[in-house]
């Protein structure tokens, strides 16, 4: 929510980018795919020291030797991702970012990610936390993209894809309030997905008496 309020989209929400601290706090990492989606967000990015952005995008995990071998190139650095899942979200200068299994249909089809893309990814992450697997993951990258583009849930999840989401032993025990939230977040049309502020008021959180914005306290 705070990222969106700054006029930015995170664009790469997935379990690998969420860390749990020793004290139990959840924190986001790897802001390399984060992009402005409002004039205010773009102004914020442009006001940041460019060298700082380069250091952040370099990730801090590459060896010093590797850094000394060649000068920084943002395309090379981002394409050197060791993940087995290929990046897929389009950046405004032609580069692609993100991880396919967590991208919404519109981004897979070539649209620039908006805050609604983060909502879709949140639905994927919640589903994976509760079932042990991403909601849409096929044998290879191409099949996964095709499945995402074709994926569609009616209100309440009543359609063929409901069996895909909640029909196996891993996901059968997902409680109704969680199912409702996942279905809302995995709406095919971006405009129908709830914002992070709306998500916080869903029964999955509010029904349990949880205020997600003060939970860190």
Residues marked active site are found at 12
**DSSP reduced 3-state for 26:** strand
- Report d(CA 136, CA 83) in Å as an integer: 18
* Cα dist from 55 to 12, 50, 195, whole Å: 18, 9, 31
Burial of 27 (0-12, 13-18, 19+ CB in 10 A): exposed
DSSP annotation of 176 = H
Burial of 124 (0-12, 13-18, 19+ CB in 10 A): buried
Exposure string (b/e) for 129-156, b if CB count within 10 Å is 16 or more?
eebeebbbbeeeeeebbebbeebebeee
- Report d(CA 61, CA 18) in Å as an integer: 16
Tokens 């992009």: give the residue. 35
Six-digit token string for 150: 């074709």
């Amino acid at each position: 929510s705070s990222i969106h309020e700054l006029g930015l989209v995170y664009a790469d929400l997935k379990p690998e980018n969420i860390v749990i601290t020793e004290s139990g706090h959840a924190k986001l990492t790897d802001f390399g795919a984060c992009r402005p989606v409002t004039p205010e967000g773009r102004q914020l990015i442009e006001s940041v020291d460019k060298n700082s952005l380069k250091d952040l995008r370099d990730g801090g995990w590459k060896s010093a030797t590797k850094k000394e071998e060649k000068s920084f190139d943002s395309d090379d650095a981002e394409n050197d991702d060791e993940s087995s899942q290929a990046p897929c979200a389009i950046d405004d200068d032609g580069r692609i970012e993100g991880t396919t299994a967590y991208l919404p249909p519109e981004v897979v089809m070539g649209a620039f990610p908006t805050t609604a893309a983060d909502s879709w990814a949140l639905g994927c992450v919640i589903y994976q936390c509760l079932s042990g697997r991403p909601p849409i993951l096929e044998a290879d990258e191409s099949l996964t993209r095709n499945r995402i583009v074709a994926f569609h849930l009616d209100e309440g999840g009543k359609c063929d894809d409901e069996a895909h989401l909640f029909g196996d032993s891993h996901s059968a025990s997902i409680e109704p309030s969680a199912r409702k939230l996942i279905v809302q977040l995995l709406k095919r049309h971006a405009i129908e997905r709830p914002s992070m502020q709306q998500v916080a008021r869903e029964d999955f959180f509010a029904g349990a008496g949880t205020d997600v914005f003060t939970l860190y306290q």
